Amino acid sequence: MRYFPLFADLQGRCVLVVGGGAVAERKVRLLLEAGARVRLVAPEVTAWLRENAAVAVHREPFDPRHFEGAVLAVAATDDRAVNEAVATAGRDRNVLVNVVDVADLSSFIVPAIVDRSPLVIAISTGGVAPVLARLVRERLESLIDGSFGQLAGLLQRWRGRIKGGLPDVDARRRFYETIVRGQVAALVRSSDLPGAERELEHTLRQSNAQRRGRVMLVGAGPGDAGLLTLNALRALQEADVILHDRLVADEVLNLARRDADRICVGKMAGGHSVSQGRIHELLLQQARLGRRVVRLKGGDPFIFGRGGEELEFLERHGIPFEVVPGITAAIACGAYAGIPLTHREHAQSVRFVTAHSGDSLDGLDWATLAKERQTLALYMGVAGLGAIRDQLVQHGRAPSTPVAIVENGSRSNQRVVLATLAELEDAGRAAAVQSPALVIVGEVAALAEKLHWFGSAPVQWHGLRAAA
């Protein structure tokens, strides 16, 4: 980010404008709306500038002395030499200067503006594509009507009472979110400002009562932040605290409210782990503080995510909760690897199986899992590739059955290894596959060779290549 976005208070402050044509006039109009005292320097000026009593016009060539007392300057001439002189004089005096449409001479840029005062939105491309900035402004103009400004004005008038009535920062934030998303905003949109004020006052009185926290169990998906649902995004932006798994991508966490507390409660095989009991304690503790807690899980919280256990615990302790489903790894890994989990010619069903330990493998119905014309999606199976192969072959699945190992599915570093069932363990070892990875067993796995579209092409282990 080259340019730091900043809103400057120019009320009663001197701003120098050099230039007297139509462009300078537009800049002066904007500065006057912001309450600035405008000093304009140009040998020739437009009729409007000449006749406007609010503008101090100096009908003379630019001189560095014109910077005296100015906090900002705008150069709006068609003379490169004059613009350079203004930029140099500003730099020498540590005064920010905008040279209209000349980014290399400017120390600040005037953005495209959507004005719904006191709500103001500024859009900038850093001077490289002003037309694009105007296009974005036009789209925002159509989305953000005048009621947004009226709502902002209402909250401005009530700010002191709201702060006095709700001294706790988190409580105040929740109150404001209730206002802008609820009935008060609806009444403003319908032009019932007295009704909006009454509703705001009523809501404020209610908010003074002790507020219970709540937990939102949210699926973060497999990695690609673009796969988050709108409800998941809303939950992240409203959360006071986020308890997240180790495998939740940074791109997802970066979408959360910046001041939300983040607590990693991930589990790692052979490494530091937070026990499930401790996770329960943290959920209860944070909710009892009246905070909005997001329990953020990779994939979908109800698919091998122990989400049900956590909700049962919360229910026993009277903590309200919501659930936001996520895209589970099997769905995303299959799609991003070009593997349809079901296919009319190859598979009429798909089974999701967890294979993270010897105990879990021993308890599976391998005779059913080994049947043909179905797809197996095996979660957490990297450590047990040999056992998975042995069990499926022993129970009748053909050793030549295609398999795919999808590592870091949907992420920028996704890898797909294709092999046969007989070669599953050798292929995984040769490719040094690491978690998170999903194993897909079935004829559909071979389709990745021609249907892959995301990331690098699949790596084919020799047996599958030879079979082809």
Topology classification of domain 330-467: 3.30.950
CA distances from residue 198 to 60, 133, 176, 202 in whole angstroms, order as listed: 57, 39, 15, 6
pLDDT in tens, 223-260: 999 999 999 998 998 898 999 999 899 999 999 988 89
- Count Cβ atoms within 10 A of the Cβ of residue 11 and give its class: 0-12 exposed, 13-18 middle, 19 or more buried: exposed
Does the domain made of 14-110 have the CATH classification 3.40.50.720? yes
Q: Taking the domains of the chain in order of start, what are their residue ranges?
A: 14-110, 146-207, 214-324, 330-467
In whole angstroms, what is the distance from residue 28 CA to residue 37 CA?
Answer: 10
Domain 214-324, second-level architecture: 3-Layer(aba) Sandwich (3.40)
b (16+ CB within 10 A) / e for 353-389: bebbeeebbeebebeebbeeebbbbbbbbbebbeebb
For residue 132, the one-letter residue type is L
Catalytic residues: 245, 267
Three-point CA angle 355, 283, 238, nearest 5°: 105
Indicate the helix (H) or strand (E) that contains 38: strand 37-41
At residue 434, φ and ψ (nearest 5 deg) are -125, 155
Starting at the edge strand that comes first in sequence, how are the strands of the sheet with 37-41 ordered?
Answer: 55-58, 37-41, 14-18, 70-75, 96-99
Identify the three-state secondary structure at position 5.
coil
| pLDDT by 10s per residue, the chain, length 468 | 788 888 999 999 999 999 999 999 999 999 999 999 999 999 999 999 999 999 999 999 999 999 999 999 999 999 999 999 999 999 999 999 999 988 889 999 888 899 999 999 999 988 788 889 889 999 998 888 899 999 999 999 999 999 998 888 878 888 898 898 888 998 998 899 999 999 999 888 887 655 668 899 999 999 999 999 999 998 998 898 999 999 899 999 999 988 899 999 987 655 567 899 999 999 999 999 888 899 999 999 999 999 999 999 999 999 999 999 999 999 999 999 999 999 999 999 999 999 765 566 778 999 999 999 999 999 999 999 999 999 999 999 999 999 999 999 999 999 999 999 999 999 999 999 998 999 999 999 999 999 999 999 999 887 655 444
